[in-house]
Amino acid sequence: MRRRQNKNEYEADKYRIRNPDSENSKLEVWSDKRVLCLCLAFRMVNSLLIQTYFNPDEHWQGPEVAHRIAFGYGHLTWEWKHGIRSYLHPILFVPLYKLLAFLRLDNPCLMMKAPRLLQSVFSGIGDLYLYKLSAVLFGHYVAKWALFSQLTNWFMFYCFSRTLSNSLETVLTVVSLYYWPCMRSSNKCSFVSRKWGLVVAALACAIRPTSAITWLFIGLLELLKTRDRLKFLFYEVAPIGILVVGLTCLLDHFMYGKWILVPLNFLKFNFLSSGGDYYGTHKWHWYFTQGFTVMIFSHLPFCIAGIIYSKQWKFAGLIAWVLGFYSILGHKEFRFVLPVLPIALMFSGYSLAVIEDPGSPVYRGKQYSEKNTKCSPKMTFAILYLLVTNIPMALYMSLVHQRGPEDVMNHLAGEAQHGKVKSVLFLTPCHATPYYSMLHHNLPMQFLDCTPSEEKGVPDESDHFMVDPVPFVSEYAKKWSPPSHIVLFDSEEQKLRNSLISFGYREERRFFNAHFKVDRDLQASIVVYVLVK
């Protein structure tokens, strides 16, 4: 006699396309160890293929700060002087730098690659937990396709292995989601697991205070679903939150040399004073019409179909909440909403599983064994479509677009090793290249300042240069000690060539940068000028 399902079992199974873990299933279930090895290998290769410049924070707010701690020299941007950054993220790279120095492997190549390789380890763990989360929700068959969607997405390939705090925040978000009972189809998550989820979520918020936007939604959802709300708030949330905030404050006190509450300073600057607007603004609908749409790209129809078909509205609500909240802020960037991208890609995997699985309503009436003999035309088309639309873009963005800043720093680092570089002046937009973390030589360098003014609308030094380079450099040259090397983009170099020659400089190297413009005029190449002796 067939046993009747209880309510919890039904809730857990009704979202599954088919239970791939049943005794009659012919599906091979991958072990966590196997998935982790696959993800680590993929992300390490991924990190080695990244040779382009995406966002200044990748270098200036992580490895550059860690380089200063480890080697005693490196530049701290204005954010560190105002106490709106925590040392929790850059401190992760310090042991790596110390190890390279101890083994005498701190050459320019490894100094550039090692931080990304470390991040690739974290990213591989994030991929594993997306697989585990998908397996808990939908079964291992869907989990495989969710992992496929994650690994083939061009933006995850382009961004996930970079040393941005957003990348680590994304890893911690996915790991924490795995432990939250309210995000599962059934209550099979123990309170101990929820506490682990709280710890990881607190770390995400400590590294990126804006991560609280994500956890406010999930925390409220958990509060509504849990039976003992007071216990949840006062015996779990409060102690774990206080512990993580306290330890982070101790670290920042030690590094800053004074007591400082970074989340409060971060909140004041970015939310209460709209300080982030200094770096540009977009219209409220940018994430919905351009930002997140570009990140998902060809996975978008699969993501939408997966959410609708699975009816996992709490995840859809989380994505909409995060996009909606960030839409209120004037300053918008792709990387801000990176933590919810894996969630969307999980539903892309669900759609792929629906297309392929003969046990789903799409293939009702067919036998499960037929799947193993022939891949359906729809599935073949879907796989080829995702590969063809994502792989070329991933490789182009990682290997070609805006590679000039990293190439020029590699060149300068090699020249510095042979004693050919005495000092460097960057006549570029502020933070347009990596700095000491890639050069790894303690020699004088200078760039145009872009510290936000307390008065809105007041242009900084970098703005003055970009508006009219010739008079700016003429005035700047009156008080400089001539650097041995000057770095600038060709868009300004065309205007300054005669002036630089008159100052005794000649072109040394020119590096390709980009085929199309991004925020400013086309910066097709980046040029190095050297002082003629």
**Is the confidence at residue 10, as pLDDT, over 70?**
no
Would you say residue 463 has pLDDT above 90?
no
Give me the mean pLDDT over the 493-514 stretch: 96
The C-alpha atoms of residue 141 and residue 20 are separated, in whole angstroms, by: 6
Average pLDDT over residues 248-261: 95
Average pLDDT over residues 397-414: 96
pLDDT surpasses 90 at 434: yes
Q: How confident is the model at residue 329 (pLDDT cuts 50, 70, 90)?
A: confident
pLDDT category at 191 given cuts 50, 70, 90 is low
- pLDDT score, position 182: 87
Question: What pLDDT is stored for residue 185 in this prediction?
Answer: 67
What pLDDT is recorded for position 188? 58
- Is the pLDDT at 387 greater than 80? The verdict is yes
pLDDT at position 522 is: 86
* Strand, coil or helix: 529: strand
- Name the percent of the chain lying above pLDDT 70: 89
Q: Record the pTM.
A: 0.91
The arithmetic mean of pLDDT across residues 519-532, rounded, is 91
φ, ψ dihedrals at 367, nearest 5° = -90, 145
Q: Measure Cα distances from 124 to 111, 139, 165 in Å.
A: 21, 20, 16
Element (H, E) at 485: strand 485-489
CA distance 282 to 336: 13
Of all residues in the chain, the percent with pLDDT exceeding 90 is 74
Query: Does the CA dihedral 188-192-196-201 come out positive or negative?
Result: positive
Tell me the average pLDDT across 56-80.
96
- Output the pLDDT for position 5: 46
Q: Provide the pLDDT for residue 518.
A: 82
The token pair that represents 325 in the structure block: 């909240």
Comparing 359 with 443, which gets the higher pLDDT?
A: 443
Return the pLDDT at 282: 84
For residue range 106-128, list pLDDT tens digits in order.
998 899 999 999 999 999 999 99
SS3 528: strand
* Candidate from 94-103, 277-286, 293-302 with smallest mean pLDDT: 277-286
| Closest CA relative to residue 52, chosen from 523, 529, 530 | 523
Up-side HSE of residue 322: CA atoms within 13 Å toward CB? 25
pLDDT of residue 183: 87
> What was the pLDDT predicted at 36?
97
Which residue type does 494 have?
A: Q
Q: What is the per-residue pLDDT for 331?
A: 87
The confidence band for 359, taking pLDDT boundaries of 50, 70 and 90, is low
* Mean pLDDT value across residues 342-348: 97
In this structure, the number of other CB atoms found within 10 A of the CB of residue 430 comes to 20
Give the model confidence (pLDDT) of 230-244 as tens digits: 999 999 999 999 999
Q: What is the mean pLDDT of residues 180-185?
A: 84
Average pLDDT estimate for 160-177 = 97
Q: Would you kindly state where each structural domain of the chain is located, as residue ranges?
A: 32-359+375-400, 403-531
Which residues does residue 237 pair with via DSSP β-bridges, in sequence order?
Answer: none
At residue 484, the pLDDT reads 97
Mean per-residue pLDDT for 253-272?
Answer: 89
Indicate the SS3 state at residue 401: coil
pLDDT at 142: 92
The predicted structure's pLDDT at residue 330: 86
Q: How far apart are the first and last CA of the chain?
A: 95
Read off the pLDDT of each residue in 307-332 and give the average, rounded to a whole number.
Answer: 93
| Mean pLDDT within 88-113 | 95
Mean pLDDT value across residues 139-145: 92
- Which runs of E-coded beta strand occur in 212-269? none
**Over residues 63-82, mean pLDDT:** 95
Is there a contact between 158 and 398 (Cβ–Cβ < 8 Å)?
yes
- Note the pLDDT of residue 447: 95
366 or 46, greater pLDDT? 46
In the prediction, which pLDDT does 453 show?
75
In this predicted model, what pLDDT tens digit does every residue of 464-495 receive, in sequence order?
Answer: 899 899 999 999 998 889 999 999 999 999 99
Tokens of 389: 């639309």
Instruction: Provide the pLDDT for residue 186.
Output: 61
Is the pLDDT confidence value at 131 over 80?
yes
Lowest mean per-residue pLDDT among 53-62, 330-339, 448-457:
448-457
Look over the chain and give the mean of its residue pLDDT values, rounded to a whole number: 89
Q: Residue 14: is its pLDDT beyond 60?
A: no
CA dist 92 and 410 (Å) reads 23
The conformation of residue 487, written as its DSSP 8-state character, comes to: E
Higher pLDDT, 484 or 1: 484
Q: Given this model, what pLDDT does residue 2 score?
A: 43
